């Protein structure tokens, strides 16, 4: 199964607006559920998949089937991911993440579902975030099921591959750096420290199903919300679109903040076509909700990563 690379709206697709008032009114009423995508993290230096200059225009992400079946594919993945982690693991929340956290603190949200694996919502202070596609801060053994911290794996990979420091052409939303096969070379992959099994990041690869209980948890949140607010997602794949369709079927208003058209626009009350960070900050100001400005740029920590994602230590097993 290859990832959906693009989606093209028809000529009669609903246009976007630059008026944020529909979203402001929904937030003012409260009981809003946020569904976020890669677009909310672009201002933190992490590119999205399908926007202008999106990573899918230059590479195809690892699929679950390839990762399971091919040791060479796993070597390529871990070499690229190990290098990408040095930047990805140091990313900091931006104004959009901080605005969402501020809305939550002021009781305007019922929760946050994120399709991202970067941990930036939690780093900004959002509570009870459901990570639909998992998180790169955890690693799971496919043999014994043990979870371990990504920073520990980064240390082991660093020791197993001294001097590995190729220059990547770019980094992708899944933390995968763009490297050629020559740059990957004979990169050494390390096994599970407990049983010697194959290690995989605790994220949902393309071609892999989201755990059913996680989907049902999200469906429950959608069912309880008074409105669904989509932030920075093209909704190209069914993983997020199904919740938009669920809300629309139930008569729950759907609002979208995304500069480009999305596959969910037909189900939405409005799509606000504005940059997320400034738009959400402006909305917060209209609501009298202060958004902290940390004034912190990207960290310059160690090769094993030292930002908010790298610092997380909880490794819950899927129920």
CATH of the domain at 19: 3.40.50.1220
Q: How many other CB atoms are there within 10 angstroms of residue 45's CB atom?
A: 15
In a domain, 225, yes or no: yes
CATH code for the domain in which residue 164 is found? 3.30.1600
Residues of the binding site for NAD(+): 37-57, 115-118, 232-234, 276
Whether residue 261 is predicted with pLDDT greater than 50 in this model: the reply is: yes
Q: Which residues are catalytic?
A: 133
- Residue 299, pLDDT score: 35
pLDDT of residue 306: 46
Q: 234 to each of 35, 41, 124, 238, how far by Cα in Å?
A: 11, 13, 23, 11
Q: Using pLDDT thresholds of 50, 70 and 90, give the confidence band for residue 319.
A: very low
pLDDT in tens, 219-254: 999 999 999 999 999 999 899 999 999 999 999 999
pTM as predicted: 0.86
Q: How many domains does the chain have?
A: 2
Q: Which of the listed residues 145, 179, 203 is the one where a domain comes to its end?
A: 203
Q: Could you tell me the residue range of the domain that residue 288 belongs to?
A: 15-46+93-133+210-293
Residues contributing to the annotated binding site for Zn(2+) = 141, 144, 192, 195
Side-chain half-sphere exposure of 205, counting CA atoms within 13 A: 18
Which residues are known binding-site members?
37-57, 115-118, 141, 144, 192, 195, 232-234, 276
**pLDDT 10s digits, 106-129:** 999 999 999 999 999 999 999 999
The reported pLDDT for the residue numbered 172 is 74
- List the alpha helices (DSSP H) in the chain: 21-29, 64-69, 71-88, 95-105, 120-124, 150-160, 181-184, 212-224, 238-249, 276-287, 308-311
Q: Are residues 215 and 118 in the same domain?
A: yes
Provide the token pair at 221: 């949140």
Asked if residue 232 and residue 126 are part of one domain, the reply reads yes
């Amino acid at each position: 199964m290859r990832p959906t690379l693009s989606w093209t709206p028809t000529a009669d697709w609903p246009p976007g607006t630059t008026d944020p008032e529909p979203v402001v009114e929904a937030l003012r009423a409260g009981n809003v559920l946020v569904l976020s995508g890669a677009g909310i993290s672009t201002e933190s230096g992490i590119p999205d998949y399908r926007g202008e200059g999106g990573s899918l225009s230059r590479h195809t992400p690892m699929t679950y089937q390839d990762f399971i079946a091919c040791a060479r594919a796993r070597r390529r993945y871990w070499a690229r991911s190990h290098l990408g982690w040095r930047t990805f693991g140091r990313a900091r929340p931006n104004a959009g993440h901080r605005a969402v956290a501020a809305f939550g603190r002021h009781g305007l949200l019922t929760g946050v579902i994120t399709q991202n694996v970067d941990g930036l919502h939690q780093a900004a202070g959002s509570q009870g975030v459901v990570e639909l596609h998992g998180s790169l801060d955890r690693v799971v053994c496919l043999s014994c099921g043990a979870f371990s911290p990504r920073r520990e794996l980064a240390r082991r990979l660093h020791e197993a591959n001294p001097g590995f420091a190729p220059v990547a052409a770019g980094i992708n939303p899944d933390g995968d750096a763009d490297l050629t096969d020559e740059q990957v070379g004979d990169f050494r992959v390390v096994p599970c420290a407990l049983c010697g099994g194959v290690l995989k990041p605790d994220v949902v690869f393309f071609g892999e199903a989201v755990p059913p209980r996680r989907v049902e948890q999200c469906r429950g949140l959608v069912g309880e919300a008074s409105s669904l607010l989509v932030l920075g997602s093209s909704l190209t794949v069914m993983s997020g679109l199904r919740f938009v369709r669920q809300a629309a079927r139930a008569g729950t208003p759907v609002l979208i903040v995304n500069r480009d058209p999305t596959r969910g626009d037909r189900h939405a009350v409005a799509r606000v076509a504005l940059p997320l960070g400034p738009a959400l900050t402006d909305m917060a100001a209209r609501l009298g909700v202060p958004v902290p400005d940390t004034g912190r740029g990207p960290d310059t920590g160690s090769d094993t990563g030292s930002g908010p994602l790298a610092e997380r230590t909880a490794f819950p097993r899927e129920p």
